[in-house]
Structure 1
Amino acid sequence: MGFDVLIRGGRVVDGSGNPWFYGDVAIAGDRIAAVTPPGRIAAEQARTTVDATGMVVCPGFIDIQSHSIMPLMIDGRSLSKITQGVTTEIMGEAWTPAPFGGQIADPFDGALFTHEVAEWRERAQGWRRFRDWLEAMVAAGVSPNIGSFLGGGTLRRYGCGMRMGPAAPHELELMRRVMAEAMEDGAFGVSYALIYPPDAYVATDELIEVCKVVARYGGVYITHIRSEGSRLLEGIEEAIDIGRAAGLPVEIYHLKAAGVENWPKMPDVVRRIRLLYTSYASDDLPCVDRGGA
């Protein structure tokens, strides 16, 4: 059997949790075809041989909370991530540039670096389906594998614009339909950042109704909860209530207790989650200083 690439002599960390070992890795096309002890595969069996002596060979890292929507439009090579071993980027924290429509006037409203992607901004006005954005990125050429959640802020603006208050029945039904279309297009679920507008205007019952659609497709609800400080416990309980009522897993991103006075609450947070809900995960901020992801 012939291989395209043979990586020889590296320390293989295979992601299984087992200790690393010296080995060779053979690649055929875009697949890992073989992982063997050193020297089992002759160099002549591969078109290209890479000497990995003194290096680590491991699966690509997955950035599960990527903020690369705009950077990938600026430069699809993503050199700063690829050279660190990041090969998959999962985007969609609260905002996505698609779908465009409904009450959204500008698909890039509030996004950073928009002055560098004027052409993309114009193209985005034709992205009527969630998949249109991802397909456009792949067609333009991006180095990493990409995927995304549907941004809850995008969904809310689609149905209600930036208006405060609960969604009207017809607005909620529209958002549920758009959510279903996004799941059919490959979205991993929906993501809300409930401390930022317009997500902050979304009531719990609206979140549950949207998440019920996500649940039908086996998706996940990820959330920046409403409070990380004085109402941290209430924010945690709301996230758990949504997951239980809609019947889907919950991921809390930026889990932390903001403010020294709230640090003692974290053990109670963990206890409540373990007691009340099992389909839960979080991305933690293990630092004293605050900041974005």
Structure 2
Amino acid sequence: MKALFAGVLAGLLTAGVALADDCSAQLPAWLEQAHPGQAGGVWLEDERGTYRVDAEQSICKVWPARPELTLIAVPLVRAEHDSHGETDLEVLLLDSARQDFVARLVEPNGLDWDAIYVTRLAFDTAPYRLRGDDLAFGLRISRENGSRVNPFSETQLHLYEFEARRLRLLLGELPVALSWGEWDTNCTGEFSETKGVVIITERIGNHGYRDLRLKDTRVERRIALVDGQCQTVEESTHRYQLPIEYDEERYLLPIELASDPL
């Protein structure tokens, strides 16, 4: 019996790895299916104008809770300049068995950049049960600048709902990580790092969507030369929580984040 169990477990693990490998291996074909002729960064045209698919930053992931669906995120570059760019964010859902798209959502200018540019996209498939037993999924968008003197990086969370063959943005641009600093590139300076966790509460709000709470922890440090050595001379930790409630169409960001993210 143990041998049989081990064999079944090994088979499941192997299948899981193969499924993950298949996602990455098949992504180029799915991009071509969604945007015929896109290979090689060729510029295409749609109702919004010209664009090219950024295949390098495109990602996919089989949705663990709903393995019949594969999640795909694609940057659609609209314009590129020396100091800034305009890029749409496209999110697609693929029927894993039939290999055809069942939903598509484009967020115009969702990945625009200037001095702060997009470095990574990653799907967040934690069990976001926002309404009843319905599951939402997340996409984390990471950005940073290229400054050594004033380093900056942030990660924002988007949450999506798939219902009645329709993909909808439930929550956008929620900052869940932020770090910045100002220093002399040698030692002396100040740094701040904030990490946030989204908590789903039991309170049912508008249209049956549960209230959320963003639980943040911010650590601030001041670093200086002491007796010829670089040391932390001051450190403080701040913890706070912000409520996030569903309005008529989506969750609204707390007013505190509009003026002072994290």
TM-score range, shorter chain: under 0.3
**TM-score in terms of structure 2 length:** 0.27
More helix by share: 1
**TM-score in terms of structure 1 length:** 0.25
More strand by share: 2
